[in-house]
Structure 1
């Protein structure tokens, strides 16, 4: 192949390879248990697989409508009504996306321009900051309390100015597993009331919440809902992360701007999968039972780790559990994660990569969306360390 000799000025010169790609690649290379990247290693519901297959057989194999098929948008509207008592129009306020990350990218690209400031909370999912930078915005990071991942709302208030265009929240929170409370949402609502600041609410784990907690969707709070893009993921909900199907819910004026971008970077999302999901959502128990399902896995994993040298507080949501290793080694979390993968054959994610200035709290994130057998094998390894 000929050598390319023309200079490219990178638009994201400081962005490294994703830690998920690095650790999953290392896990494959080392034949290690991969509890790093957030994907289930068990089969999805055979009924849903059959619905996708039937949709293909029935001929739903060409482009879907740009906003998504109407039956799926209608099913999402019904779900929002049932869960949060809020009415969203399937025609003008719901858009099917190629996963939640694409929805987040589209929200930011549709609204953020050079000089705009966006407040995010760290540790943060790694797609927020590069996308803000890509479109000329400036990230204003608020570091969460390292002990319990709570938000100092007075600090947030002090950061808001006339350049603040958006705040991004994520609940249940990846990577900590913390769930924002009603009190958190009321404080955020009070901060944003009578401003033009937009809200991006990343709610991909909305159905994976434990210990009787309730998901506090932005849709529940009128002064938040009126300015909120809410993003969600069917891949996370139904154990099919590789299908890359999600959605964005927002008021019509915001959706109008969202779709201007969506039509050119995706246009139509996987058609047979949309048909299947529209049918599958008709049975609420298909998603309402997820909290109990994953809580059993969390509890199994933590029970098996109770005699280990790791310290932990049970995750309140998502399918991730943080383990603190400060009593085991003084290594950096990145070095320890790499060594665990190479020597102990188990892969986790170092949390410092998601923190401001790579702040290292000696914590690794492990995914427990795995078979019980995998969790037992993982716990056996971790308890020997």
Structure 2
């Protein structure tokens, strides 16, 4: 029998924890068990009608062939126009690369800039794929722990202390997955000043930029001056704001030499992003933006309901959290429940065991904070209906009551 040996990088690579949690929930569903699933960060809305219509028009117009590897000119221009309209920032199409979703964009950035011996600074908690993609490139992820009290925001002092001669990149996610945290503009600018002073490139993952709630604010990292923009690599896409997760369109905006290198890489690994999805994304960015605000308002209602339900948990169960200013996640510390008797007599010692017991006994699926570099925490995605959220929170309370 032939012995298959995987590459060293793939031997160490773990599957996405969010997708693994979703798969576990689907397995129970396949057995006829009704599962309340809060694992995936995916809007439950349909893609807006004007965007769907644009895709049909593109197919009927024959736009079903290869495109340039880095994206069609129309979409690059639409990205530039959107950043001028929304943030007053001027970019040229040569600074834009269109990819197969924002995750692909992030991979391209890391693969193009980082290799063995390099270090990448990542504030924790962090999105599960960040460290995996850094390690896949042979580089080292330097995790900087943030606290609930700080709103899970890294301080300029923490950034400075994490920098070494090997530092190649800072990866910043604002608003954040999994915490929903948003950086105050002054703190973001202070980080930008450190990046300029120390000459560090910043990958700013801004995929949740349109999902901001009252009391929070969003500033594009590149907006703090030309010297900051010269060191900023923006990653975003249409998945979250336009409910287009399955269309797989993301983009990178950055220095021309970085974009050229990424385009060379993409031409070898995937060729071009889906042609029809690109034309749909042009309409998403250039067409009416009413649907973006309509969805944001609905997410805000859900966020407010989740917070209203969870605030009493602080005194009732000892569960703590920082209230999210953006995205669609509630990230809460359940370590006070460890060792206590929960539903079905379950006793757990960590967040992963908590999630497993919750799924088994209450049929509620969450994602463990262990996967996000935050032991003791769990993540709930409220990108689903109020009815589903209510049923889920009711079930979690029954689980916690034992």
- In structure 1, C-alpha distance between the alignment counterparts of 2:256 and 2:14, rounded to whole Å: 36
Q: Secondary structure at the match of 1:176?
A: coil
Q: Is contact 1:120-1:141 (8 Å) kept? A: yes
Q: What's 1:217 paired with?
A: 220
Q: Which has the higher helix share?
A: 2
- In structure 2, C-alpha distance between the alignment counterparts of 1:321 and 1:89, rounded to whole Å: 37
* Gap change, CA 1:381 and 1:239, over 3 Å in 2: same
Q: What's 1:352 paired with?
A: 370
Mapping of residues 34-113 of structure 1, within 5 Å = 34-90=37-93, 92-113=94-115
TM-score scaled by length of structure 2: 0.88
CA RMSD of aligned residues (A): 2.0
Q: Secondary structure at the match of 1:364?
A: strand
* Gap change, CA 1:61 and 1:306, over 3 Å in 2: same
Q: What's 1:5 paired with?
A: 3
Q: Does 1:296 align with 2:301?
A: yes
- In structure 1, C-alpha distance between the alignment counterparts of 2:200 and 2:353, rounded to whole Å: 39
Mapping of residues 127-206 of structure 1, within 5 Å = 127-147=129-149, 148-206=151-209
Among residues 321, 328, 334, which one is paired with 1:325 in the alignment?
334
Q: Secondary structure at the match of 2:9?
A: coil
Q: Secondary structure at the match of 2:57?
A: helix
Structure 1 residue 288: Cα displacement? 4.5
Q: What's 1:366 paired with?
A: 380
Q: What's 2:357 paired with?
A: 339
Quick check: 68-77 or 295-304, which moved more?
A: 295-304
Q: Is contact 2:195-2:231 (8 Å) kept? A: no
Q: How many residues end up aligned between the 2 structures?
A: 378
- In structure 1, C-alpha distance between the alignment counterparts of 2:46 and 2:86, rounded to whole Å: 27
- After superposition, the C-alpha distances for 1:170-214 in whole angstroms (9 at most, x for unaligned) are 100111110012122222122122443211111110101111422
* Gap change, CA 1:25 and 1:300, over 3 Å in 2: same
Q: What's 1:22 paired with?
A: 20
Q: Is contact 1:75-1:278 (8 Å) kept? A: yes
TM-score scaled by length of structure 1: 0.92
Among residues 225, 230, 247, which one is paired with 1:226 in the alignment?
230
- In structure 2, C-alpha distance between the alignment counterparts of 1:325 and 1:140, rounded to whole Å: 25
Q: Is contact 2:16-2:129 (8 Å) kept? A: no
Structure 1: gaps (5+ residues): none
